[in-house]
Amino acid sequence: MMSPIEVSVLTKAAPSASSASVQVDNFAVLIDNSKSINHLHQIHAALLRRGLHHHPILNFKLQRSYSSLGLLHHTVTLFHRTPAPNVFLWSSIINAHSHSALWDCALSYYAQMLAHHVQPNAFTLSSLLKGCTLQPTTVVHSHAVKFGLSSDLYVSTSLVDAYARGGDVVSAQKLFDAMPERSLVSLTAMLTCYVKHGMLREARLLFEGMGVKDVVCWNVMIDGYAQHGCPNEALVLFREMLGKKVRPNEITVLAVLSSCGQLGALECGRWVHSYVENSGVGVGVRVNLRVGTALVDMYCKCGSLEDARKVFDGMVGKDVVAWNSFIMGYGIHGFGDEALQLFHEMLRVGVRPSDITFVAVLTACAHAGLVGKGWEVFDLMKSRYEMEPKVEHYGCMVNLLGRAGRVREAYDLVRSMEVEPDSILWGTLLWACRIHNDISLGEEIAEFLVSNDLATSGTCILLSNMYAAARNWVGVAKVRSFMKESGVEKEPGCSSIEVNNRVHEFLAGDIRHRRSKDIYSMLGKMNGWLKARGYTPKIDLVLHDIGEQQKEQSLEVHSEKLALAFGLISTSPGTAIKIVKNLRVCLDCHAVMKMMSKISGRKIIMRDRNRFHHFENGSCSCRDYW
């Protein structure tokens, strides 16, 4: 419905007694308030009837409104019909293209503007910088200096942002340090720069020094932690944000859910879920697709497929990302058939799979040992969807074949593929060699890795474990000295467990925990129970060249065992214990978890780097392959 003023402005045939400037003002208001394309077309028609379309302000506003409604081509047409556009119109057309991610066009309009001898102002440059890569940024920077705009707050903020995006932290820092004044936005631009480059200490220092903090800078800091392997810090900061009464938005929620997923913090994830539903953040008519997908992912990673299913079934208009998360969820839990079923359902409803879909389906096949199905899907990817398999897809196939004991076949596949193998793929193949005791192939691969400078701590330790299992101590010593010489360090194993909404982290031999004494006393009891049932520690897994007794002790304090001991003393009898480990679970710990699930009568659900293990009554859902 049109308002009375609109009716009068749009329908009056001739200007009334009111002055022309009042009419222009009225049109300006109408354009600014127009919310639909139709509406804007009506106003545009009225302007044409009155010959007002060349009025500089109305023409400008019309162009801006068309582009903000997504009709860039209308804006472009009007722009090209404007004789001698002024700096406002040039800035606006540049901004319109920047907003549509048409960076090259924006740059080309800028070049044309200069060719027409129109001098840019601060608005022009900040619009232009939005999408500049490093090379044009340096050029625009020099223009800013030339036109005396380099100390403008908006221009310098945009420059900091542009250098940061281009990866030139030094220039970004230099500009930032030289800024005569800084706004919240410029501080956030620098904060983003630090975070993007993993400089979390610098970021935190800057963040703490910021007097006023809005939701954007909280998001940058929280997401920074979430994306750089510090999900616990992200959650702590999120709680602090709530305490400061800053209202989170959808972006906050996405970062926090990702953190919960990484930590396997189910209680915390559930809390965020109910927060989402009660606060209306990220909720349209129902939970929106992105938040929904993040919830599905979180629930899968926290071990609750039931909750993931509930969210997934309630989502409308599921896209490929949503399907992928759930397929992957089933996969890492070892439910291959369910993952395949989901995949076929997705194809049936007409969603086109992406390359990540195939990673998810093949991962699921690998974890469930579905060799035939895996090959079918791998072929389908090439034949029906005409996708070239990437190294990740080959990695899945190697995992699949390796698990099935077809290590040589896996090796042949690697040698026949056209893409360059990466260290993850080599690690997968080595893992298969280790599981199936193919030492000669393992050595061959390891030598290749060492001579090509591809050896990582993971591959070195696998090889050392293989030698140790074969009682080849010379081999073990060789690997050990290689690691020492080349500075390859073992990534420390870390296990975490969520109790009472807090995540507790343990490293091997950790004594920092408040209840450390109780934990070690439980550990002692566990060892008594285990030994009474005939458990012998798998000491050949220990890398170090130390005495047998010390090897036993070093195994006993593995991080996952500490987490289990803490779980046993701090949760109610009969409840499931959920542990998350950053590396793959070690063979000895896996055996201990199996036995302890029987001894304690508890379900133990452990997520390692690779997949979920559900330990129950003495056995594991992975059927001893992982």
Partner DNA sequence: GTAGGGTTAG
The binding site for DNA (CB under 7 A) comprises 28, 56-57, 59-61, 64, 86-89, 91-92, 95, 98-99, 121-124, 126-127, 130, 152-155, 157-158, 161, 183-186, 188-189, 192, 214-217, 219-220, 223, 249-252, 254, 258, 261, 290, 293-294, 297, 301, 320-321, 324-325, 328, 354-356, 359-360, 363, 390, 392
Nearer to DNA, 122 or 565 (CB): 122
Contact 213, 222 (CB under 8 A): no
Rounded least distance, CB 241 to DNA, Å: 11
CB 495 within 8 A of CB 562: yes
Residue 499 Cβ, how far from DNA at the closest point, in Å? Answer: 24
Minimum distance, C-beta of residue 218 to DNA, in the bound complex (Å): 8
Question: What's the token pair of residue 93?
Answer: 């057309």
Burial of 24 (0-12, 13-18, 19+ CB in 10 A): middle
Give least dist CB 490 to DNA, A: 22
In the complex, what is the shortest distance from the CB of residue 592 to DNA, in angstroms, rounded to a whole number?
Answer: 26
Q: How far is the CB of 403 from DNA (least distance, A)?
A: 16
Q: Where does residue 311 rank: exposed (0-12), middle (13-18), buried (19+ CB within 10 A)?
A: buried
How many Å apart are CA 183 and CA 587, to the nearest integer?
Answer: 54
* Residue in 569, 581, 462, 483 with CA at minimum distance from that of residue 524: 569
What whole-number distance in Å separates Cα of residue 233 and Cα of residue 142?
40
Min separation Cβ 537 and DNA, Å: 31
The answer to whether 497 and 571 have CB atoms below 8 angstroms apart is: no
Our CB check for DNA shows the closer of 98 and 554 to be 98
Q: Which is nearer to DNA, 241 or 463 (CB)?
A: 241
What is the Cα–Cα distance from 211 to 146, expressed in whole angstroms? Answer: 33
CB closer to DNA, 132 vs 530: 132
User: Smallest gap, in angstroms, from Cβ of residue 61 to DNA?
Assistant: 6
Q: Considering beta carbons, is residue 184 or 450 the nearer one to DNA?
A: 184
Write down the H helix ranges in 197-319.
200-209, 215-227, 231-243, 250-263, 266-279, 289-301, 305-313
Q: Where are the alpha helices (DSSP H) in 282-319?
A: 289-301, 305-313
Say how far apart CA 397 and CA 400 lie, in whole Å.
5
Q: Of 432 and 522, which CB lies nearer to DNA in the complex structure?
A: 432
| Residue with Cβ nearer DNA (358 or 535) | 358
The residue among 220 and 539 lying less far from DNA, judged by its C-beta, is: 220
- Distance of alpha carbon 529 from alpha carbon 518, whole angstroms: 17
Nearest alpha-carbon partner for 580 in 301, 267, 228, 297: 301
